[in-house]
Homo-oligomer: A and B are copies of this chain.
Amino acid sequence: MPHIKQINHVAVVVDDMDKALSFWRDALGMELHELRNVPAEKSQVAFLPLHGSEVELVQPTSADSGIAKYLAKRGPGMHHICLEVDDIEGMISQLTSKGVRLINDTPRAAADGKKYAFIHPESTSGVLVELYQL
């Protein structure tokens, strides 16, 4: 049986990275591990690790990306929650068999080889859920 292991990260879409970091890093005191440009996602991402999990701040770098459209429509705020799974193909099969609507029916591979897939908010009570296999 595929198994959800933990919250891998929570992603927040922001419209001003400096202002966001003034809260998450400077006021809360969280460590900024890395500030990375991710051209494949047309975003700049700040990674703030927390005891095996992470807060990620995501700012679009192009107006034509999905995340830029989300930001334009809904404003800054929570974007998705990512759950680590030990067997992403098995979990996708299990979800499909139970009628869950997936955005990615087959896992995609990130640049570092990690496999991920998104579940449609329609099936999750309105939350965009990412699955991640490390």
Q: Which residues of A are at the interface with B, using a C-beta cutoff of 8 A?
A: 1-7, 10, 12-16, 19-20, 22-24, 26-30, 50-53, 55, 57, 75-78, 81, 83, 91, 94-95, 98, 100, 121, 123-127
Contacts and interface: CB of A to CB of B under 8 A. Distances in A.
Contacts of A83: 28, 50
Contacts of A55: 7, 81
Contact of A98 (B10, B27, B75, B77): B27
Nearest to A10: B81
A129 to B, nearest CB: 8
B29 A1 contact: yes
Nearest to A26: B98
Given A5-B50, A29-B94, 20 more contacts: A6-B52, A7-B10, A7-B51, A7-B55, A10-B81, A12-B124, A12-B126, A12-B127, A15-B125, A20-B125, A23-B100, A23-B125, A27-B98, A28-B95, A51-B52, A77-B78, A77-B121, A77-B125, A77-B127, A78-B78
Contacts of A4: 28-30, 50
